[in-house]
């Protein structure tokens, strides 16, 4: 049997032991963005082990964080330092004060996925219809466009809190869902990884659960009245002005 006289050299990542917070508004392609980031790291030789529950505040099959307190952040920072390279953590919540402090200390970077509110509303209503049909709670309270808009307004506030922070990569749903190679290249640049984007994207589409539902471009054009579309454009005028491309 071969015995090594010295341990294998561990790969060093140029970013070091950073947390990569992968935030997403609901129905914004955030699962696909998360999988692209963590798969890119894994395929580059940087494993993404499960973090302890006291570090993420939740128990999931993936590294997913809810609201975090100082104790969680201490455990999270310690766990990632022990791993020694970036670890991607998905979340749907706005950044808590301790998370913001972690980002400002340079211990974390961000990806933030968002979507046209008209598209979000239609997708949320679809999900609500399915949930009520089988007695599940997810989005069951979303029956109308008004229901969806109340939820979306809160989510835009959360998105803004992430976008304000340094080292945040905005990811628009249309790009994530329909321009996968370009989006993957942007993620690779942020993570400072030298690996073919096509290899990462192909692996994710073949082997990861990405929750891409209907996947139709600009559904609102055929499924939402023009009057309702105008209400969305007026209600979220600044959001459209700064973040949504027609």
135's torsion region: left (phi>0), alpha (psi -120 to 50) or beta?
Answer: left
3's torsion region: left (phi>0), alpha (psi -120 to 50) or beta?
Answer: beta
Read off the pLDDT of residues 66-102 as tens digits, 9 standing for 90 and up. 999 999 999 999 999 999 999 999 999 999 999 999 9
Three-class DSSP category at 108:
strand
- Report, as an integer, the average pLDDT of 23-50: 96
Predicted TM-score (pTM) of the model is: 0.90
The pLDDT value given to residue 100:
97
Residue with tokens 């989510």: 155
State how far the Cα of 13 lies from the Cα of 30, in Å rounded to an integer: 24
State how far the Cα of 153 lies from the Cα of 143, in Å rounded to an integer: 16
- Could you tell me which residues are beta bridge partners of residue 113? 24, 171
Extract the tokens encoding 140: 């069951």
Closest CA to 89 of 45, 54, 47, 51: 51
Residue with tokens 């290249």: 185
Decide if pLDDT at 215 tops 80: no
- 168 φ/ψ angles, rounded to the nearest 5 degrees: -110, 130
Percent helix, strand, coil in the chain (nearest 5)?
Answer: 50, 10, 40
State how far the Cα of 58 lies from the Cα of 124, in Å rounded to an integer: 24
Extract the tokens encoding 68: 């975090």
Better-predicted residue by pLDDT, 214 or 197: 197
Read off the pLDDT of residues 114-136 as tens digits, 9 standing for 90 and up. 999 999 999 999 989 999 999 99
Decide if pLDDT at 232 tops 90: yes
Strands of 108-222, DSSP E: 108-114, 168-172
Residue with tokens 């200390």: 105
Asked whether the beta carbons of 90 and 63 are under 8 A apart, the reply is: yes
- 140 φ/ψ angles, rounded to the nearest 5 degrees: -65, -20
- Measured over the CA atoms of residue 210, residue 204, residue 96 and residue 239, the dihedral's sign is negative
The pLDDT value given to residue 245:
66
């Amino acid at each position: 049997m071969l015995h090594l006289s010295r341990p294998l050299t561990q790969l060093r990542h140029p970013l070091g032991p950073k947390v990569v917070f992968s935030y997403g508004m609901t129905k914004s392609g955030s699962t696909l963005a998360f999988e692209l980031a963590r798969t890119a790291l894994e395929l580059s030789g940087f494993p993404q082990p499960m973090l302890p529950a006291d570090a993420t505040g939740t128990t999931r099959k993936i590294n997913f964080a809810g609201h975090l307190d100082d104790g969680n952040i201490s455990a999270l920072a310690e766990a990632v330092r022990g791993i020694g390279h970036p670890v991607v953590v998905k979340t749907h919540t706005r950044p808590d004060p301790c998370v913001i402090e972690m980002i400002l200390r340079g211990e974390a970077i961000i990806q933030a996925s968002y979507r046209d509110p008209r598209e979000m509303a239609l997708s949320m209503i679809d999900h609500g219809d399915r949930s009520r049909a089988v007695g599940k709670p997810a989005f069951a309270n979303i029956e109308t466009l008004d229901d969806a808009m109340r939820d979306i307004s809160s989510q835009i506030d959360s998105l803004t809190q992430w976008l304000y922070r340094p080292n945040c990569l905005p990811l628009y749903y249309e790009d994530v869902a329909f321009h996968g190679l370009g989006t993957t290249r942007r993620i690779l640049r942020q993570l400072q990884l030298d690996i073919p984007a096509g290899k990462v994207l192909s692996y994710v589409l073949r082997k990861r659960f990405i929750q891409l539902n209907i996947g139709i471009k600009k559904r609102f054009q055929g499924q939402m009245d023009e009057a309702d579309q105008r209400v969305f454009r007026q209600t979220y005028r600044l959001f459209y002005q700064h973040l949504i491309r027609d």
